[in-house]
Amino acid sequence: MIQKPKGTYDVYGNKGETFIALENVMKALMEKYNYEYVRTPLFESSELFHRGVGETTDIVSKETYDFKDRGDRNMTLRPEGTAGVVRSYVENKMYGNATIPVKTWYYGPMYRYERPQSGRFREFYQFGVEVFGSESPILDAEVISIPVNFYKLLGLKGLKVHINTLGDIESRTNYREALINYFKPHIDTLCEDCKSRFEKNPLRILDCKVDHDLDIMKNAPKIVDYLNEESKAHYESVKKYLEALHIEYIEDPNLVRGLDYYTHTVFEVEASVEGFGSQNVLCGGGRYNGLVEAIGGPATPGVGFAMGLERLLTALEYEHVDLTMNNGIDVYVIPMDNGLEYSIALTNDLRMCGFSTDIDSMSRKLSSNFKQADKLHSKFIILVGEEEVKTNILTVKNNHTKEEYKVKIEDIVDFLDEKLSDDCGCEECNHEN
């Protein structure tokens, strides 16, 4: 038996329904926020991620799926969405004629060669947004509000929003200096990864999951003490707007995003449910005022987030949120005698008129067809035999109350519309409503 690749999963049954439900909520929400959908390729030239994500990050240094295509080009399966969206923004000159700020969202699979475990896959789905062209802290707060509102709409409760600021380039540079001076005498007590971070990107030491609990981490210099006036003002505004949005947040001075392009706000949303496990960060993001330029575009501020769908699914399970409808279908059509072609046409017409409809395609006996209608939770059954074809009067059965009706073909749509709009008083309808 050929098996699925390690770190991947199949979607079917309830999980399929849940994913569709999540996608629907996502799309509806992005429409309300007035964000524009963008889609970029699943693979890009490797160079893009080296520049856009950064050589020193775990993602690029250890996790990418790299391959050479048949034309000997270095390609990489996208490990995240931002680099591709920024490339697209620059390549398609979205800054040219668009309304500023340009607000975009994306959704799709990402690929990282990681050790598979709960909440960590090699193919996983991310929903994210990128907003270009404005430095306003209003947008930092708006971007943070999107995952918060998304989770709220889904009915997720145990959430914690962590925020921090990295300041502008000047503040960051000063802070970096301070960290280097602070960690230098302690370098031997840090893990191997941190030793190399010290050389390449000392800020990321603060993000270390191994050394996290060491005292020297807790006592490390804090960015707040290195912020210039402008950076302070930006951060204060973000917090003010979050309060206006009634979003509770926790300030976490050790929260960093490793990349050099991150400036000002960084944030993470964590599932705070007991027993959820260590992969509990549902979503991360921040402002990256240097990224568009790094990818070859004009200096353009940006802010965004990316959230993983798998961890969200687990969080929903933990909180017993069930998004599956299992509403069943509206109509089940049973062809009899010479009614097959008529039934096929009727099924097609009903589907096109908006009714979820299925048809017996297995020439079942009438009794097993009734059972099938029950299994499909069909609300109505339409029987089509010789008589119905001849007279154009259909035999319609309410599958809940078992009442039977004779309905002219030209009245069937109105009939179903009316009957489906109010429940028939039976237990099943009451239950569904």
Residues that bind ligand ATP (CB under 6 A): 80, 112, 114, 119-121, 124, 126, 279, 281-284, 306-308, 310-311
Residue carrying structure tokens 């770190």: 7
DSSP string, 371-420: HHHHHTT-SEEEEE-HHHHHH-EEEEEETTT--EEEEEGGGHHHHHHHHH
Structure tokens at 386: 């010789």
Provide the minimum distance between the beta carbon of 162 and ligand ATP in the complex, in angstroms, as a whole number. Answer: 12
Query: For residues 164 and 369, which CB has a smaller minimum distance to ligand ATP in the complex?
Result: 164
Under a CB-based contact definition with an 8 Å cutoff, are residues 319 and 157 in contact? yes
Query: For residues 52 and 119, which CB has a smaller minimum distance to ligand ATP in the complex?
Result: 119
Query: For residues 128 and 167, which CB has a smaller minimum distance to ligand ATP in the complex?
Result: 128
Structure tokens at 93: 């000159």
Q: Among all residues, whose Cβ is closest to ligand ATP?
A: 308
- DSSP H or E stretch at residue 29: helix 13-32
Provide the minimum distance between the beta carbon of 110 and ligand ATP in the complex, in angstroms, as a whole number. Answer: 7
Provide the minimum distance between the beta carbon of 307 and ligand ATP in the complex, in angstroms, as a whole number. Answer: 6
With a CB cutoff of 8 Å and minimum separation 6, the contacts of 49 are 59, 60, 64, 76, 78, 79, 83
Residues 362 and 108: their CA atoms lie apart, in Å, by: 37
Query: For residues 56 and 136, which CB has a smaller minimum distance to ligand ATP in the complex?
Result: 56
Provide the minimum distance between the beta carbon of 271 and ligand ATP in the complex, in angstroms, as a whole number. Answer: 9
Query: For residues 124 and 262, which CB has a smaller minimum distance to ligand ATP in the complex?
Result: 124
Query: For residues 8 and 149, which CB has a smaller minimum distance to ligand ATP in the complex?
Result: 8
Under a CB-based contact definition with an 8 Å cutoff, are residues 79 and 111 in contact? yes
Provide the minimum distance between the beta carbon of 251 and ligand ATP in the complex, in angstroms, as a whole number. Answer: 19
- Residue 341 in 3-state DSSP? helix
With a CB cutoff of 8 Å and minimum separation 6, the contacts of 362 are none
Residues 331 and 397: their CA atoms lie apart, in Å, by: 10
Among residues 171, 369, 153, 158, which one has the least CA distance to residue 275?
Answer: 158
Query: For residues 126 and 289, which CB has a smaller minimum distance to ligand ATP in the complex?
Result: 126
Provide the minimum distance between the beta carbon of 113 and ligand ATP in the complex, in angstroms, as a whole number. Answer: 9
Query: For residues 212 and 406, which CB has a smaller minimum distance to ligand ATP in the complex?
Result: 212
Task: Give the type of residue at 71.
Answer: G
Provide the minimum distance between the beta carbon of 58 and ligand ATP in the complex, in angstroms, as a whole number. Answer: 7
Alpha carbon 316 to its chain's center? 13
CA distance to 377, 391, 406, per residue, from 149 (Å): 33, 54, 48
Provide the minimum distance between the beta carbon of 414 and ligand ATP in the complex, in angstroms, as a whole number. Answer: 48
Query: For residues 203 and 336, which CB has a smaller minimum distance to ligand ATP in the complex?
Result: 203
Under a CB-based contact definition with an 8 Å cutoff, are residues 328 and 298 in contact? no
* Beta bridge pairs of residue 381: 332, 397
Provide the minimum distance between the beta carbon of 295 and ligand ATP in the complex, in angstroms, as a whole number. Answer: 17
Torsion of CA 112, 118, 124, 125, to 10 degrees: -140
